[in-house]
Amino acid sequence: MSKPFSWHTIGRAIYDISQDTELKGIFGEAFVAGLLRKKKLLKLDNVKCISLNLDTGLRSAVSTLYRLEEYNTACRWGLEPVFEELWRRGSAYEVVSEIRERLGVFVKEMGIEDLDKLCLNLVYVGYEATRKCKLCGNPYEPPNFEVMYFEGYAESRSGRVICPVISICTECYRKLLDRGIVKIRRDGRLVPREEYLRSFALLWFYCSLHNLEYVDFIIKIGNIDFLKRIGAGGYLSVFDFICIDDKGGKYVIDVKATTSQTQSTSSKISKELRRSSHLIQLALEQGFRVLVPIVRLEKDWKIVVELVEIT
The phi, psi pair for 290, rounded to 5°, reads: -105, 115
Is pLDDT larger for residue 158 or for residue 172?
172
Q: Which of 16-30, 72-86, 87-101, 192-206 has the lowest mean pLDDT?
A: 16-30
Q: What is the mean pLDDT of residues 28-44?
A: 81
* Beta carbons of 131 and 139 less than 8 angstroms apart: yes
- The topology (CATH level 3) of 17-53+236-310 is Trna Endonuclease; Chain: A, domain 1 (3.40.1350)
Q: Which of 76-80, 117-121, 253-257, 296-300 has the lowest mean pLDDT?
A: 296-300
Cα(21)–Cα(10) distance, rounded to whole angstroms? 27
Cα(178)–Cα(180) distance, rounded to whole angstroms? 6
- CATH code 3.40.1350.10 region(s) in the chain: 17-53+236-310
Cα(311)–Cα(308) distance, rounded to whole angstroms? 10
**What is the value of pTM for the model shown?**
0.80
Burial of 25 (0-12, 13-18, 19+ CB in 10 A): middle
Q: Closest Cα partner for 222 from 60, 72, 65?
A: 65
